[in-house]
């Protein structure tokens, strides 16, 4: 179960949902000199890493030529599961962001962070102006940044500050309090701490057609017990 557009993402605050929509719709300049990161924070399983995989595709789509937009089926890949954000273009060649890098902070010790940051720095310097097809930006997903200590985060903040404008960083965390204040200042903050039951109800009706024999009240009770964790929601629906 993966969302295929922003309206299926469980943003906690409607104003933030609208803001992200305006960014990927090209109404707000992003990345800019002041903000080149998204900080996606909130509970386990609320959809942070998923959104961090989808946003690069939406940004590339927005910045593409009209023909590029029309002639391709724009997708994002989360753990090798491809999801289209342009279902109307189904059957056309699949297109993914050309420069998408995932750094899983949880699987590296903080000591390794410096060499990882040096690697990001090298990639962030390469000028993308000659790259065609969905490659206008370098996208760096820095997953679970709270796993890195203060020195590594400070170094990352320095890198973000000096990285050329075509680099975008997507930072996820369960603990916003453990993130460097300077990184927070450079980020558009998006809270993912769950939505109302009705939102999840619509999603499960779409993804699990076999649940029609259950009443909305029964489904809402189950959804409630999942505490806004999509993994639990999916597991519970599969059990029905
Ligand atoms: N908007 C959504 N609609 C339906 N399913 C979703 C949605 N977002 C995420 N999921 C499902 O929930 C699972 C968990 O999402 P994700 O890995 O993004 O959570 P997370 O917030 O990063 O969790 P953690 O804090 O544990 O890293 C995904 O594998 C996906 O199957
Ligand atoms: Mg995650």
Ligand 1: list residues with CB < 6 Å. Answer: 1-3, 8-10, 44-50, 172, 174, 203, 230-231, 234
pLDDT at res. 132: 44
pLDDT at res. 38: 98
Relative to the alpha carbon of 6, which ligand is closest?
1
- Ligand 1 centroid–CA 30 distance in Å is 24
Residue 174 and residue 223 in one domain: no
Overall average pLDDT of the 25-48 stretch: 96
The domain that holds 70 is classified in CATH as: 3.40.50.300
Residue nearest to atom 16 of ligand 1 (CA): 47
201-207 own/partner pairs: CB under 8 Å, 24+ apart: 203/1, 203/8, 203/233, 204/233, 204/237, 207/1, 207/237
Overall average pLDDT of the 173-189 stretch: 98
Number of folded domains that form the chain: 2
Overall average pLDDT of the 101-122 stretch: 85
Residue 26 and residue 142 in one domain: yes
The region that residue 91 occupies, defined by phi over 0 for left and psi between -120 and 50 for alpha, beta otherwise, is left
pLDDT above 90 coverage of the chain, percent: 82
Asked whether the predicted pLDDT for residue 41 surpasses 60, the reply is: yes
Residue 203 and residue 178 in one domain: no
What is the band of 131 on the pLDDT scale with cuts at 50, 70, 90? very low
Residue 129 and residue 210 in one domain: no
What is the band of 109 on the pLDDT scale with cuts at 50, 70, 90? confident
Residue nearest to atom 3 of ligand 1 (CA): 3
Between the two ends of the chain, the Cα-to-Cα distance in Å is 16
Which of 102-106, 138-142, 182-186, 226-230 shows the lowest mean pLDDT across its residues?
102-106
DSSP annotation of 3 reads: -
Domain assignment of residue 225, given as a range: 197-239
Question: At a CB cut-off of 8 Å and minimum separation 6, what does 155 contact?
Answer: 113, 114, 117
Residue 74 and residue 168 in one domain: yes
Asked whether the predicted pLDDT for residue 12 surpasses 80, the reply is: yes
pLDDT above 70 coverage of the chain, percent: 96
Ligand 1 atom nearest residue 51's Cα: 18
Best mutation site among 7, 20, 47, 190 for ligand 1, i.e. most ligand atoms within 8 A of its Cβ? 47
Overall average pLDDT of the 164-172 stretch: 95
The secondary structure of 114-137, three-state, reads HHHHHHHHHHHHCCCCCCCCCCCC
Asked whether the predicted pLDDT for residue 125 surpasses 90, the reply is: no
Relative to the alpha carbon of 174, which ligand is closest?
1
Residue 162 and residue 230 in one domain: no
Asked whether the predicted pLDDT for residue 240 surpasses 80, the reply is: yes
What is the band of 171 on the pLDDT scale with cuts at 50, 70, 90? very high
- Ligand 1 centroid–CA 46 distance in Å is 5
Per-range mean pLDDT, top range of 75-84, 115-124, 168-177: 168-177
Overall average pLDDT of the 185-205 stretch: 96
Do the domain assignments include residue 1?
Answer: no
pLDDT at res. 134: 59
Residue nearest to atom 12 of ligand 1 (CA): 230
- Ligand 1 centroid–CA 231 distance in Å is 7
Residue 207 and residue 165 in one domain: no
How far apart CA 185 and CA 157 sit, in angstroms, is 10
Asked whether the predicted pLDDT for residue 129 surpasses 70, the reply is: no
Residue 129 and residue 232 in one domain: no
* CA distances, 90 to each of 64, 84, 227 (Å): 18, 8, 34
Relative to the alpha carbon of 41, which ligand is closest?
1
pLDDT at res. 48: 98
Residue 178 and residue 103 in one domain: yes
Ligand 1 atom nearest residue 43's Cα: 25
Q: What are 208-217's pLDDT values in tens digits?
A: 988 989 999 9
The per-residue pLDDT of the chain, averaged, comes to 92
């Amino acid at each position: 179960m993966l969302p295929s557009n922003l309206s299926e993402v469980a943003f906690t605050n409607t104003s933030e949902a609208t803001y992200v929509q305006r960014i990927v719709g090209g109404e707000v300049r992003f990345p800019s000199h002041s903000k080149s990161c998204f900080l996606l924070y909130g509970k386990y399983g609320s959809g942070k890493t998923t959104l961090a995989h989808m946003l690069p595709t939406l940004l590339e789509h927005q910045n593409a030529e009209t023909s590029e937009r029309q002639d391709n089926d724009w997708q994002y890949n989360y753990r090798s599961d491809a999801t289209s954000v342009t279902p109307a273009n189904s059957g056309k060649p699949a297109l993914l962001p050309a420069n998408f890098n995932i750094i899983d902070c949880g699987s590296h010790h903080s000591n390794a962070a410096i060499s990882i940051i040096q690697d990001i720095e090298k990639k962030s310097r390469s000028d993308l102006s000659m790259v065609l097809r969905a490659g206008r930006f370098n996208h760096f997903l820095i997953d679970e940044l709270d796993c890195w200590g203060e020195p590594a985060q400070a170094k990352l903040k320095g890198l973000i500050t000096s990285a050329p404008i075509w680099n975008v960083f997507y930072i996820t965390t369960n603990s916003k309090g453990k993130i460097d204040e300077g990184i927070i200042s450079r980020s558009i903050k998006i809270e993912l701490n769950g939505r109302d039951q009705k939102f999840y109800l619509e999603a499960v009706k779409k993804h699990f057609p076999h649940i029609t024999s259950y009443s909305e009240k029964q489904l809402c009770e189950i959804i409630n017990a999942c505490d806004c964790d999509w993994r639990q929601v999916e597991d519970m629906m599969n059990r029905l």
